[in-house]
Structure 1
Amino acid sequence: MSKKTFLHKIDDFLVEIYSYLNYVIFIISIVGIILNVLHLLVLFRKSMRQLTINIFMIGIAVCDFSQMISFVVVITTQFYINYKTTQISPDCYPPQSYVEYKINHIFTFISNVSPKLAVWLGVSLAILRASVIRNPTNSR
């Protein structure tokens, strides 16, 4: 077996996995959106909004929600582009419009920034909890 053939088989296998990966991410994102909405409904109650810890949790939930929404938008755009390329001759379909490009660009940015922001909110939450445990007598 030649090395080139082996590498081509690996590439074909990875391309096949990648095609199914978008479907899995899409389904997980839809389920995550539903669960995050329920989580946010609980966290937005007036009694829950009074604690500082819950404010950080609201921020993390909003970051996760926006990331999953952006995944759904970006993957839906990819599905639409794949549909256009398979159903219409490549010479006949128009290029991506400016609005489609901007929407894809904005939601790709959101999907890149949201997880980083959620991590830093989690770090801030841990620092806040550690400072409360170290200084239990201070009220703020």
Structure 2
Amino acid sequence: MSASCVAEGAARGHRSADVRAATPNGVSSSSTGMVSMTAQLELGHNDAVKYVLLLCDDERMSPSMEEIAVDPAHRAYAAELERRGASVGGARLRPVAQATTVRVRDGETLISDGPFAETKDFIGGIDIIECADLDDAIAIAARHPYASLGCVEVRPVWE
């Protein structure tokens, strides 16, 4: 897998798990560890820095939603996010075959099907986290199962 992950457009929806469970503090989270932004605001993460984790994988080996829901590594990652109170949100993206790329050149809108780049690593999803600093974000990213299968790119959010 390449060390750099290439973004691709996927504006037609996501493959986010619909399996929801109540956490001890009453916040609703999915089996992928995603907690609503409203819940995070209620938890009071005022001094934290937001990061987006771009979850890159090789779609030819990408697990199904059902496999992710029962996978011990994904469950452990979700539990770690919950323990840290770090999750702001996230989504799993549909395959790149369903992507549409939009470019505007000289006032003309150009639309093409599929991803904008030919590569075997694609963004399969995102997690938005809040944590103290880049070191915390890297520690969280290293726990994501995709860090072992593809790569996780960590980017700070402009605020």
Which category of TM-score, normalised to the shorter sequence, fits these structures?
Answer: under 0.3
TM norm structure 1: 0.24
Q: Which has the higher contact order (CA 8 A, sep 6+)?
A: 2
Q: Which has the higher helix share?
A: 1
TM norm structure 2: 0.22
